Structure 1
């Protein structure tokens, strides 16, 4: 299945619970990092934890000496990355963040690393779906942040090559001033939702749209082994005149052009900043989940800054900033127990479904093939 823009990239790639655990245990670990940072490169580029620097203060000093950090695929309206980047800049004004190609896909992040290998423009860090992370471990440097033990085992590759950082559930966002809360998929077939229901992209290319079909499949008593029930559902929605063939953006939501949207709950939640009547619901029953992963480029030009960035993202501050964007941080359970989670933000999250599913690689591949064959005809 192809992957396109960052906004619609393959979010189903990060698994929760057993699915992720199975995939991660099949991943081979251990790559040899490289890179250069003006004198401290060998130690910084091969460091697998803060201990290899000596102390956290030593890591900070090494990163400040490098003075720069190259990030890629971090749009400011995605999972609160605008605020996260600003917070890191404020905390470390000595480090200039170079933001590259915010809307590229996970695969394009890896392509950029390979194309720019040896150049000071290569990305130092990645933010990736699991499918791409699993196939790109030869590009990563293993590193375990100080809060490693707080991260659920099913969300991290055992050696630290890549680690889940934030995620959420496929949800339905809607303008509550115009529509009642949808309690089931059948509600969206009603006359009240005429020409109003959009998905985020083309499911043959876009991850969020792909996940919408997956959600429709399991909510229609199907399984992820066969996405046909999900395709049939949207065909029915199209036949009823309720399916809207417009890709939602903050602008289309604000204008009312896309008043009902299938999307990740943290992206749907972000729309409420501009539309005060915008609400988000995660349907009861079986839900569809996805997480994203952090990884460090083994050839990072700024290896110490890359590791400091990871430490920041997995700190209480970084994790609460993801939460402020409506995403569920990887350390949420541990932080809740420790009393360091922002309880107000946590309580504002849509209620989690009773059961969660995420497709395996084979299920994703099979579903992509099926969608390629049948999607276009289904919504004509």
Structure 2
């Protein structure tokens, strides 16, 4: 399981320079479409600006390629989502640095600005998205009205796409199922407890600290108890500072992992003894954010990708992988979503149990983590 950042475990920064990691893409000057120039595509705020979906598809197909970054195939069903886009529109998707963090996505866009290999679209945790809004292009997809107002920026600079429940995955052959957060301080979990990344960089780890804080009387408005608890895990020699991957889980190297439910559930495919649980009490939920790079080298394909991501088909693919799509209510109304899949994806929790930080709370949590995290894990 790769950690996504802020939601993902950090990849080596030099990898994000992507020297040769992306196939050569069409340049902006090659992006002219029958419905307008590349400049038209780069400023389009809806499919109507192209003359409709057919014209948007034609413009994107003329570009021929799309650059994505930090989308592991096993993360929230992105393998099927990417291949589905390629098959539906006959457009090649160049996927770079799948294990990168959200922060590294932004760094890659900065490093590659003006180049054909720059990312066209982003998939970001909330903290990083809110810090980099000036890098996004506004766009409203055709299913815009189905997306709740609280899950999107009004002009479409960012839109929530999917979420999970913060969960604990554990190897039942090595450790017992924890029933309460304090169980993890016991000797049975010596050298076993892992966060999926660095919470100052990775959204999954950020959410884990928030979830732990809530279990200890804090929560989205106070991450302090979460940082304190992780420090206690470190003192007890129970914290393992290894970034979890499918390989570390399969080998037994990382016996217990805080991560999104869709990642922990997926890990069981290669590790039958791997189980997933959500502790009683507040359930931490935080959506990822879809956004278009305002300097996208393939601006029409970037906008078509947005249309795909928020279509019934792609939203259902998220749900198939135990991720909760933002348009889940619309899918239920149309009969596109099975109630049993929704129950499985939410682990029986409801929105009454969910906690998610506001923009101000996210900023406060980031500040606290930047000040205290390094000392907590020393």
Normalised-by-shorter TM-score class? 0.7 to 0.9
Structure 2 counterparts to residues 189-204 of structure 1, below 5 A: 189-204=185-200
Q: Give the counterpart of 2:123 among 115, 123, 127.
A: 127
Q: What does the per-residue CA deviation read over 1:228-256, in whole Å, with 9 as the maximum and x for residues that have no partner? A: 32233233334444333332211111111
The answer for the alignment partner of 2:53 in structure 1 is 56
Alpha-carbon shift at residue 164 of structure 1 (Å) = 0.7
Match of 1:38 among 26, 29, 32: 32
- Which whole-Å deviations, capped at 9, do the CAs of 1:269-327 have from their partners, x for residues lacking one? 22111112222122221122211111112232222211111111111111111122221
**Which is further off, 252-261 or 198-207?**
198-207
- Selected match of 1:285 from 278, 281, 286: 281
How big is the shift at 1:150?
1.1
Structure 2 Cα separation of the partners of residues 373 and 379 of structure 1: 12
Counterpart in the other structure of 1:359:
357
Q: Name the counterpart of 1:208.
A: 204
Partner of 2:154: 158
Give yes or no for contact 1:6–1:105 (8 Å, CA) kept in 2: no
State the SS of the aligned residue for 2:238: coil
Q: How big is the alpha-carbon RMSD for the aligned residues of Structure 1 and Structure 2?
A: 2.6
Matches within 5 A, 1:243-282: 243-282=239-278
Equivalent residue for 1:98?
94
- TM-score normalised per structure 1: 0.84
Q: How does 1:134-149 map to 2 (within 5 A)?
A: 134-149=130-145
- How many Å apart are 1:343 and its aligned residue? 4.2
> Unaligned stretches of 5+ in structure 2?
9-27
User: What is the rounded CA distance, in whole Å, between the counterparts of 1:249 and 1:6 in structure 2?
Assistant: 6
Q: How many residues align?
A: 353
Q: Does 1:78 align with 2:55?
A: no
Contact 1:6 1:106 in 2 (8 A): no
**Could you tell me how far 1:144 is from its partner in structure 2?**
1.1
Aligned to 1:228: 224
Shift of 1:361: 4.5
Q: How many Å apart are 1:64 and its aligned residue?
A: 1.3
Q: CA deviation at 1:173?
A: 0.8
Deviations 1:108-149 (A, max 9, x none): 333333443333222221112223322333322221111111
**Selected match of 2:342 from 325, 332, 346:** 346
Whole-angstrom CA distance in 2 between matches of 1:124 and 1:259: 36
Q: Please state if 1:242 is matched with 2:238.
A: yes
In structure 2, the partner of 1:294 is 290
> What's the TM-score once normalised by structure 2's chain length?
0.84
Give the whole-Å Cα distance in 2 for the aligned partners of 1:287 and 1:132: 22
Q: Quick check: 2:6–2:103 contact (8 Å CA) kept in 1?
A: no
Change over 3 Å in CA distance of 1:205–1:163 after alignment to 2: closer
Question: Which whole-Å CA distance do the structure 2 matches of 1:250 and 1:102 have between them?
Answer: 14
Unaligned runs of 5+ in 1: 13-34
Q: Is the 8 A contact 2:76 2:318 kept in 1?
A: yes
User: Tell me, what secondary structure is at the counterpart of 1:291?
Assistant: coil
Q: Residues 193 and 82 (structure 1 numbering): CA distance in 2 closer, same or farther, change over 3 Å?
A: same
Q: Is the 8 A contact 2:127 2:362 kept in 1?
A: no
- Is the 1:324–1:345 contact (alpha carbons within 8 Å) kept by the matching residues of 2? yes
Cα distance change of structure 1 residues 365 and 60 upon mapping to structure 2, 3 Å threshold: closer
Tell me the residue number matched to 2:320.
324
